[in-house]
Structure 1
Amino acid sequence: MPRYDFRCRACGSTFEVSRPMASSDDPAVCPEGHADTVKLLTTVAMTGSASAPRPSGGCCGGGCCS
């Protein structure tokens, strides 16, 4: 289940809420009980590299198709 970050405008605390994507825009109440919150934009940092696996042999990978 996705997690969304929120910040409370009343007390300034930042907190996470786990909920289905269909409910991602629903309001959230901060742990202190304040209702004036805003959903934060979160980013994902990815490191390393990935590539598609290279074919190894077989008709389409071995070059026998013409």
Structure 2
Amino acid sequence: MPRYEFRCRACGDTFEVNRSMAAAGEPASCPQGHADTVKLLSAVAVTGRGGGAPAPAAGGCCGGACGC
């Protein structure tokens, strides 16, 4: 189940809530009981089983196709 991070505007506390993606937009009360919270954008690191293939050496922004 996804975990969403919220910040309370009243006390400044940051907390996490586990909920389904369907309920992601619903408001959340902070642990101190305040209702004025905002959902934060979280950076997510996704790793795969990549097999150890190295990244291309040439590249720039497009893998070398534009000559940059």
* TM-score, normalised via structure 1 length: 0.69
Gaps of 5+ in 1: 52-66
Residue 21, structure 1, aligned to residue 50, structure 2: no
Higher helix share: 1
Alignment size in residue pairs = 51
Q: Report what 1:40 is aligned to.
A: 40
Q: Which runs of 4+ in 1 moved over 2 A?
A: 45-49
Query: Aligned letter for 1:16?
Result: E
* TM-score, normalised via structure 2 length: 0.67
Report the identity percentage.
Answer: 69
Q: Report what 1:62 is aligned to.
A: none
Q: Report what 1:6 is aligned to.
A: 6
Query: Once superposed, what is the RMSD of the aligned Cα atoms?
Result: 1.8
SS, match of residue 10 in structure 2: coil
SS, match of residue 22 in structure 2: helix
The whole-number CA distance in structure 2 between the counterparts of 1:38 and 1:25 is 10
Query: Aligned letter for 2:12?
Result: G
The higher radius of gyration belongs to: 1
